[in-house]
A and B are shown apart, each in its own frame.
Chain A
Amino acid sequence: MAEFVMPILGADMEAGTLVAWRKQAGDRVARGDIIAEVETDKADIEVEVFLDGVIETLLVREGEKVPVGTPLAVIREEGAAPGAQPVSPASAPALAARPAPSAAPKAARRVVSATAGAAPVSPAARELARELGVDLAAVVGTGPEGRIQRKDVLAAAHAPREAPTAVPAAAERQARMRQAIAAAMSRSAREIPHFHISSTIDMTQAVAWLREENERRPIAERLLYGVVLLKAVALALREVPELNAVWAGDHPEPRERIHAGIAISLRGGGLVAPAIHDADTLSLTQLMSSFRDLVQRARAGSLRSSEIADPTITITSLGETGAEAVYGLIYPPQVALVGFGRLTDRVVPVDGAIAVRPTIVATLTADHRVVDGHRGSVFLAALDRLLQEPSTL
């Protein structure tokens, strides 16, 4: 024998009223049949029975309000013999008779099937969810009958995101990046007739100026010497503008604005070269701040597509520990690459005597379809000249 009890139909439901029996004593019921209509504070709900059997007795009259959990009916499960379950004499005769018609229909209330599917959604909420890309199945509705409204969609949209799905294994990411670099570099080697010219630049002035400048500046505003190189390249490009171009299939298109791509190595391997826009117009302080921001975002993986797509030239520096000079590959569709080797003391002739000066080897790698050695030399000469007067940068 099984009991059908007053179910909990809402989290805070304490009691319910049995509005109507849909089955009578003696009826056979199957799992899923609606056995009764129960009234809660919010709606009239059709309640299903969850087993197969025959209704032995109805224990509660229509219209009675009982606490949650109260047995409402006794059901003899299929296969069991008719029970010897004693039935309270008081209730049996009362329930055997057809109950009197229940109260006038409540026109305003909707009978809600307890097995109804997803919560109702207001049209405006549905529209908003579509706009914001919110999955309605994950939204909790606070309107009547659990209706999802705009404010519920908004709440879901602004809820703190679930922890992002596991970042792909570093190795996998590495592999993908290597593939991309491989494709770009192969294409570069295949299509672009590279040539390289280099120049050793005396950095005494630049290093001294930078030291003095940084002495003046609070630490958060100090300049890295790479930024000095960057600005010098950007300004030198103004003098040889054909190097600031993109290859448009069969001819170069010079660009007005100088967007300097900075080669940034990523922790754990890999390289990106996002652009600092209008590098020639920015002050060293601004360049430093942009540079720092780019590096941080490049390493965090949050670069903007314009930064990836826009460079008109790329600058790569091996910093302080790299090799003497860089002979790189141009990033298509750019037409040039400027590389700097490590800053190191070298023996240089000064006024006929031997001197030791901090120097770097600057290399211009250029597309021979666009520019020739002469113009390349002019560029390197301009670069050298600018680095001799760092205060003008």
Chain B
Amino acid sequence: MTETEIRTTVLRLLGDVAPEADMAALKPDKRIRDQIDIDSMDALNFLIAIDAELGIDIPEADYPKMTTLDNIVAYLSAKAG
């Protein structure tokens, strides 16, 4: 998967947990949770969806690495190889 495809997927899955949020307005380098109302349950659901769709399992220890759109995409791209 290319980085662009990963980014598109991430945005779509984020949109699934936060349907009322405007993904187009999301600043990619700022903390997502400062921009969209997502709680820990939403975050978990998002990660489960990532795992289901991209086959990438994210250990809890790595959660702090995934706070902005940019670093999420970077992390996933690295894992996807």
The short answer to whether A and B are in direct contact, CB under 8 Å, is yes
Taking Cβ atoms with an 8 Å cutoff, the residues of A that contact B are: 211, 214-215, 218-220, 222, 224-226, 265, 267-268, 291-292, 295, 319-321
Closest to A225 in B: B40
**Contact residues in B for A215 (Cβ distance below 8 Å):** 59-61
CA of A321 to CA of B57, assembled, Å: 25
Are A219 and B40 closer than 8 Å at their CB atoms? no
Cβ contact within 8 Å between B47 and A267: no
B58's partner among A219, A265, A319, A320 (CB-CB below 8 A) is: A219
A265 contacts which chain B residues (CB < 8 A)? 39
When C-beta atoms are compared, the residue in chain A nearest to B44 turns out to be: A224
Judge whether B61 and A211 touch: CB under 8 Å.
yes
Expressed in whole angstroms, the Cα–Cα distance for A267 and B20 within the complex equals 8
Question: Could you tell me if A319 and B39 are in contact, using CB atoms closer than 8 angstroms?
Answer: yes
B19 within 8 A of A: yes
Q: State whether B39 touches A292 (Cβ < 8 A).
A: no
If A214-B60, A215-B60, A265-B39 touch, whether A222 touches B44 (CB-CB below 8 Å) is yes
Q: How far is the CB of B47 from chain A (nearest CB, A)?
A: 6
Which residue of B39, B44, B57 has the most chain A CB atoms within 10 A of its CB atom?
B39
Contact of B40 (CB < 8 Å), options: A218, A267, A319: A319
* A326–chain B nearest beta-carbon distance, Å: 15
Counting contact residues on chain B (CB < 8 A from A), the size range is 10 to 19
The contact of B51 among A219, A225, A292, by CB within 8 Å, is: A219
In the complex, whether B3 has a CB less than 8 A from a CB of chain A is no
Is B48 on the interface with A (CB-CB < 8 A)? Answer: yes
B77 to chain A, nearest CB (A): 19
For B20, give its contact among A222, A268, A321 (CB under 8 Å): A268
Q: Are A267 and B19 in contact (CB under 8 A)?
A: yes
- CB pair A224–B20 under 8 Å, yes or no, is no
Task: Determine the main DSSP class of B at the interface with A.
Answer: helix
A220 B20 Cβ-Cβ under 8 A = no
Contact B48 A220 (CB under 8 A): yes
Task: Provide the residues of chain B in CB contact with A225, threshold 8 Å.
Answer: 40
Q: Are B60 and A222 in contact (CB under 8 A)?
A: yes
Closest approach, in angstroms, between the C-beta of B49 and any C-beta of chain A?
A: 10
Q: Is the CB of A292 within 8 A of B58?
A: no
Minimum-distance CB pairs A-B, first 10:
A214-B60, A219-B51, A295-B41, A220-B48, A224-B40, A219-B48, A219-B57, A319-B39, A211-B60, A267-B20
- A265 to B38 Cα, complex, angstroms: 11
Contact B57 A292 (CB under 8 A): no
A218: chain B residues within 8 A (beta carbon): 51, 57
Closest partner residue, chain A, to B50 (CB atom): A219
Tell me, in angstroms, the Cα distance from A121 to B20 when the chains sit together: 47
Q: Shortest distance in angstroms between A219's beta carbon and chain B's nearest beta carbon? A: 5
Which chain B residues border A268 with CB–CB below 8 Å?
20
Of B40, B51, B59, B61, the residue contacting A220 (CB under 8 A) is B51
- Check if B9 is an interface residue, CB within 8 A of chain A: no
Residues of A within 8 A of B39 (CB): 265, 319
A292 touches B40 (CB 8 A): no
Please tell me if B37 contacts chain A, counting CB pairs below 8 Å: yes
Bound-state Cα–Cα, A320 to B42, Å: 13
Mark B17-34 against chain A: 1 for CB-CB distance below 8 A, else 0: 011100000000000010
Which residue of the partner chain B has the closest CB to A322? B39
Query: Which residues of chain B are near A319, meaning CB under 8 Å?
Result: 39-40
Partner of B37, one of A214, A226, A267: A267
Given known pairs A219-B48, A219-B51, A220-B48, the reply for A292 and B41 (CB within 8 Å) is yes
CB distance B61 to A219 under 8 Å? Answer: no
| Closest CB in chain A relative to B35 CB, distance in Å | 13
A211-B60, A215-B61, A222-B60 known; 15 new pairs, CB 8 Å cut-off, are A211-B61, A214-B60, A215-B60, A218-B57, A219-B47, A219-B57, A220-B48, A222-B44, A224-B40, A224-B44, A225-B40, A226-B41, A268-B20, A292-B44, A295-B41
**B residues near A292, Cβ cutoff 8 Å:** 41, 44-45
Specify the chain B residue showing the minimal Cβ separation from A224.
Answer: B40
Residue on A nearest B43 in the bound complex, by CB: A224
Q: Which residues of B contact A267 (CB under 8 A)?
A: 18-20, 37
